[in-house]
Amino acid sequence: GKPLPASCRHREPALAAPQVPLPDRDASGLVPAPLRPAAMPQDARPCRDGGPPPGRSCPACNLQALCVLSTLSDYGCRDIRRRARHIGYVMQNPNQMISKTMIYDEVALGLQRSGLTEEQIREKVDATLRVCGLYPFRNWPISALSFGQKKRVTIAGVLAMEPKVLLLDEPSLGLAPLVVKQIFQILRELTAQGMTLFLVEQNARHALNLSDRAYVMVNGQIRLSGSGQTLLNDPEVRKAYLGISG
């Protein structure tokens, strides 16, 4: 059938962002499957009532996690707990992730049992807050923040743990256009530093501009695939998702 319109949030293009080069062989001497950005099917199963229930992840993110767990053996991480330490996950709704009342405490939360000193934790938190544009607000209560600023707090909290792979479930969801631009600028800086991103996103223009490899899925099937720039210039994508005809 025809591609779904851009208004169908949970059946938008499934997109993936850049990869980090991996070693040719793991500790066992076996050549592993390369960590390649994979298709993230947001419509892997029908989403009733416009999407998954509150607090439940999209099926695409479950697939993201499986893709990453299956390839992190390249880092010598065969134990699932050790693998998990290398994975960061940012949910759609920041209110479902935040548990502290102050920005600094929220970003520092994951480091509290890391064995670092308070001074080392502060250095890591301050550096991460600067990356996410939140350093001037480090002593603010989270209740004073906008939804978009809370989203950045959750990204900062995950980045403070220094993951090798970052999974993001619709990072632009519910954000104003200016805030979306700010979020994707942060993601662009992370990829420039070599971090691998797996991204499920409804904003095709931003996601395709970011991605090295991308997939468009319709009714659970891969309709198109290629580099982000290739899909941006594809007539079908331009018409269905960017509102450009001809």
**For residue 76, what pLDDT is reported?**
55
| Residue matched to tokens 């947001």 | 42
Structure tokens, 83: 């693998």
Q: Give me the pLDDT at residue 14, please.
A: 41
Q: Give the model's pLDDT for residue 55.
A: 41
pLDDT in tens, 39-50: 333 333 333 333
> Rounded distance, CA 34 to CA 59, Å?
22
User: What is the reported pTM?
Assistant: 0.70
Positions in the chain short of pLDDT 50? 1-57, 59
How confident is the model at residue 84, as a pLDDT? 74
pLDDT of residue 216: 87
How many residues are there in the chain?
A: 246
Q: Residue 15 contacts by C-beta under 8 Å, 6 or more apart in sequence?
A: 40, 199, 200, 201, 204, 207, 208, 210, 211, 214, 215, 228
pLDDT of residue 222: 86
Strands 87-90 and 14-16, by their bridges, are unpaired
DSSP 8-state assignment for residue 65: H
How far apart are alpha carbons 77 and 190 in whole angstroms? 22
